[in-house]
Amino acid sequence: MSDFQEYNKNNLKSFTLFDNENGQSYDVPIIEGSEGPKVLDIRDLYKKTGMFTFDPGFTSTASCSSEITFIDGHKGILRHRGYDIKDLAYHSNFLEVCYLLLHGELPSQEDKSKFQNVITNHTMLNEQLVYFYRGFRRDAHPMAIMVGVVGALSAFYHDSTDFSDINQRMIACHRLIAKIATIGAMAYKYSIGQPFVYPQNHLSYSENFLHMTFSLPTNNYKVNPVIAKAMDRFFILHADHEQNASTSTVRLAGSSGANPFACIAAGIASLWGPAHGGANEAVIRMLEEIGDVSNIDKYIEKAKDKDDPFRLMGFGHRVYKNYDPRADVMKKTAHEILEELNIKDDPLLKTALQLEEIALKDKYFIDKKLYPNVDFYSGIILKAIGFPTSMFTVLFAIGRTVGWISQWKEMIEDPVNKIGRPRQLYNGKNSRSYEEVNRREKKSIFQWLWKK
C-alpha cells in the first residue's frame, strides 16, 4: 500500500481529459500497482470537474487496492499472495492457504500447527444455535439457512464484534473459518432430517467437514483420502478471487462498520445468485436437461440465440478471457474422483466433455472468449462425492469465507478505508408538484396485479 501512496504523492504520470464543451483539460494521476493494468486516480474528479464517471457493473473500475489476489484474465493466471493457484491446489492444503490469505505468508511448521489448533478449537457452535436451525422449514434451501445462521453469529459472539481491537478481529476471522464448515454441514443434516454430527478435532479441515456431513450416530463415515483431497482442493480453488460480486458485497457492508459476521452473511446472500456461486448447481441442472450428447448441438444453438435466455452455465467469466486455471484443476480432479469411485461412463461427465469440446471450437464462443469456468466441472465432483445439488453453493461459501474475511480484514486495516458510497446517473422525472388522489390520471401500473 505504501508504494502506491508514495507513487500517487509524487504524481509521476497523468492522463489528460479534455472537456470539449468548455475547452478545459484535467490531469488525472495514473497509479501503478505491482502487476496488472494501471489505474486512473479519479478521487478528485468530481471536485475538479463536477462530473461523475459511469460504470455499471464496475467493468473498468478498481474499487480498492489489495495485496491478496492477482488475476490476469487474458493469460489465465490466478495467484494468491504471489503463489500460483495450481501450485497451491496440488501441493498445499486448505488451512495453509487460509493462513496465507489471512497473514500474507505461508506458515512455518510451528505456525502451521498453532493455526490448525486455533481453527479446530473453534469448530463447535454455541449449542443455543441448534434451536435457531429449528426455526427453518425442513425444505428450506441450505443457502437460506446459511445466510440466517451466519448473520445470527453476531448475536452469539459479542466478544469478537469490536473489530477496532486486533485480538477481537483475529478471533472473528478464526471463528468464521472454523464454524462455517460446521454451519454448512448442519444445514445439510437439517434439510434431510438427520441428527447433527459434532466436529472431530483429530481430523483435517476437509475430513472433518465430510465427517460432519456424512456420518450418522449409527454408522461412522470412513473418510476416503482421495475424496478428502478432492474436497480440500475444491476449498482451495474457491478460497478467494479478488473483487468479485460477493467479496465486493462483504467489503461494502464492512465499510459502514458492520460487524464481520453480518458482512459475511451479506457475502453469502450475494454468492447465492446463479450468475455467481449458484452456477455450479445450474451446471448440473443444465447437463441433466441436455440429457444426451446427441442434444448438445441444439443447446449450443440455444446459447447463441439472442432471443433465448438460455446460457451455457459454467461458461464465460467477467475476468477470464482464457481458460480459467481453476477449471483445469477441477477437470483433472473430476477424472480422479470418478476413477476412485469406480464410476465408469458417467453420463454427466461425458456430456460435459463433449459440450466443452464443441463450444471451444464454435466461432461464437471463440469470438466472445467464452471458456469453461471453475463451476463447469466442480458439480460433477460434488455429485460423485454424494452432495445434493442444493449443497453446491454452500460448499463454495465454505471455501470462500476465508477470502471474504481476509479482504474484510485488509479493508479494515487500510488507512485509506472509507464508507463505500457510489453515485448514479439520475434519469428519472424532474421536479413536479404533488396532486391529490382524486385529481390523478388513471394509470395502469398495477394491471397485472389487480387483474381487473
Summarize as ranges the residues that interact with ligand ACO (CB under 6 A).
Answer: 275-277, 279, 303, 311-318, 368, 370, 373-375
CB of 276 or CB of 332, closer to ligand ACO: 276
d(CA 380, CA 389): 10
CB of 307 or CB of 436, closer to ligand ACO: 307
CB of 142 or CB of 314, closer to ligand ACO: 314
User: Torsion angle, CA of 181/182/187/190, rounded to 10 degrees?
Assistant: 150
CB 405 to ligand ACO: min, Å:
18
Q: Alpha-carbon torsion 246, 252, 253, 254, what sign?
A: positive
CB 313 to ligand ACO: min, Å:
5
**In terms of DSSP bridges, do strands 83-84 and 13-19 run parallel, antiparallel, or are they unpaired?**
unpaired
76 vs 73, 96, 319, 369, 447, CA distance in Å?
A: 5, 23, 9, 12, 49
CB 116 to ligand ACO: min, Å:
27
CB of 23 or CB of 309, closer to ligand ACO: 309
Residue closest to 80 by CA, chosen among 57, 104, 96, 60: 104
- Which residues are within 8 A (CB) of 165 and not within 5 positions of it... i.e. 6 or more apart? none
CB of 174 or CB of 233, closer to ligand ACO: 233
Rounded to 5°, the CA angle 203-206-209 comes to 85
CB 266 to ligand ACO: min, Å:
16
CB of 129 or CB of 250, closer to ligand ACO: 250
Active-site residue among 232, 324, 362, 375? 375
Active-site residue among 41, 241, 317, 324? 317
Question: Is residue 375 flagged as an active site residue?
Answer: yes
CB 356 to ligand ACO: min, Å:
12
The DSSP-derived string for 256-274 is TT--HHHHHHHHHHHHTST
The DSSP-derived string for 188-210 is HHHHTTPPP----TTS-HHHHHH
The burial of 289, by beta-carbon neighbours within 10 Å (0-12 exposed, 13-18 middle, 19 or more buried), is given as: exposed
Which residues are paired to 39 by β-bridges? Answer: 31
- Contact criterion met (CB below 8 Å) for 176 and 260: yes
Percent helix / strand / coil, the chain, rounded to 5: 55, 5, 40
List phi, psi (to 5°) of 450.
-80, -25
Question: Is residue 159 flagged as an active site residue?
Answer: no
CB 33 to ligand ACO: min, Å:
22
360 vs 88, 161, 287, 343, 365, CA distance in Å?
A: 27, 48, 17, 26, 6
d(CA 258, CA 175): 17
Cell numbers given for 141: 434451501
CB of 242 or CB of 410, closer to ligand ACO: 242
CB 334 to ligand ACO: min, Å:
16
d(CA 76, CA 321): 7
Cell numbers given for 319: 475476468
CB of 315 or CB of 404, closer to ligand ACO: 315
Residues with a known catalytic role: 317, 375
